[in-house]
């Protein structure tokens, strides 16, 4: 372990940004839809709520809405807890792992999946995850109770999941402190040009255009958005402050790994994430303005 002064200020954020997409590939993959269908889950949203929430058990819609944060509760309630009447959390966890396996093998190819670099990335990411904290982090804590898969590419995917959910849980604390509800968080993130597109939000999060417009109006009232829906100077600063707060809350795993380990993990993760993106893992219309 290194001291915090040895770790560059944004090293954890930089590492997260190249690890997180590796985890997320399966959400957009046909393999996940196929596995969910085998488990009796046909609707895409139901599959997402089930596979991401299954580590917490057969929880109700309130828990999913609270921990996922930016979905409209009415959309969640359409599918949860009904989804648990057709399958079980363990069956979903098993299906999710099979989907991740098939997705990564398709996107990366046999050589990359079995490479020494993949095993090294898994070891580094798992070591970083040792520094995570369960306190006030429900999604991370639930996934931390799951066994680490044996295959290196799945061990790396599991570690990426832990690091993603740890940062995400902390980010929700930052959003609450900033006074942003789930939709306001989406609106401001979309306005940065780096978040989910407006089209992507409307297609996946359950909000209506009326909801979106009302959130924009609330943000204008706070001086965070201008008349065109772009971030004001105060809005830009708020988003920067949110990322810095999230960095502080998510610093422990990267301090635990140390500056040299974080730099190497970032290098390896960049290579794997670039490969899956070049293989078409993500729909272009869901991200950016």
DSSP letters of 190-247?
HHHTSSB-HHHHHHHS---HHHHHHHHHHHHHTTSB-TTS-B-HHHHHHHHHHHHHHH
Give the pair of three-digit tokens for residue 196: 């989910």
Q: Which of 99, 71, 75, 243 is nearest to 161 (CA)?
A: 99
pTM, two decimals, is 0.95
| Rounded distance between C-alpha atoms, residue 161 and residue 108, angstroms | 18
Give the pair of three-digit tokens for residue 4: 């915090």
> What's the rounded mean pLDDT across residues 14-31?
97
- What DSSP character marks residue 145? T
> What's the rounded mean pLDDT across residues 183-200?
95
Please report the pLDDT score of residue 4 as a whole number. 46
Please report the pLDDT score of residue 6 as a whole number. 83
pLDDT tens-digit readout, 128-150? 999 999 999 999 999 999 999 99
> What's the rounded mean pLDDT across residues 4-31?
92
Please report the pLDDT score of residue 1 as a whole number. 42
pLDDT tens-digit readout, 194-226? 999 999 999 999 999 999 999 999 999 999 999
Secondary structure tally for the chain: helices H, strands E: 16, 0
Burial class (CB in 10 A: 0-12, 13-18, 19+), 12: buried
């Amino acid at each position: 372990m290194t001291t915090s002064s040895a770790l560059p200020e944004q090293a954890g954020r930089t590492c997260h940004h190249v690890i997180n997409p590796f985890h997320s590939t399966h959400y957009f993959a046909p393999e996940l839809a196929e596995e969910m269908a085998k488990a009796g889950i046909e609707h895409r949203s139901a599959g997402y709520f089930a596979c991401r929430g299954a580590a917490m058990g057969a929880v109700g819609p309130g828990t999913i809405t609270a921990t996922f944060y930016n979905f409209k509760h009415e959309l969640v309630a359409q599918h949860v807890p009904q989804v648990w009447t057709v399958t079980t959390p363990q069956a979903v966890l098993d299906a999710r792992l099979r989907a991740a396996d098939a997705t990564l093998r398709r996107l990366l190819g046999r050589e990359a999946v079995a490479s020494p670099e993949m095993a090294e990335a898994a070891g580094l990411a798992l070591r970083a995850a040792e520094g995570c904290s369960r306190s006030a982090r429900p999604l991370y804590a639930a996934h931390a109770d799951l066994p680490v898969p044996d295959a290196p590419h799945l061990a790396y995917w599991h570690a990426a999941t832990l690091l993603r959910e740890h940062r995400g849980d902390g980010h929700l604390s930052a959003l609450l402190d900033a006074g942003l509800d789930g939709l306001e968080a989406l609106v401001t993130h979309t306005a940065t040009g780096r978040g989910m597109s407006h089209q992507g939000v409307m297609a996946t999060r359950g909000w209506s255009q009326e909801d979106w417009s009302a959130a924009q109006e609330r943000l204008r009232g706070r001086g965070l958005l201008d008349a065109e829906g772009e971030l004001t100077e105060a809005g830009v600063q708020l988003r920067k402050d949110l990322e810095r707060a999230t960095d502080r809350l998510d610093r422990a795993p990267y301090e635990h790994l140390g500056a040299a380990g974080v730099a190497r993990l970032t290098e390896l993760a960049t290579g794997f994430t670039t490969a899956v993106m070049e293989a078409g893992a993500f729909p272009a219309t869901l991200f950016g303005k």
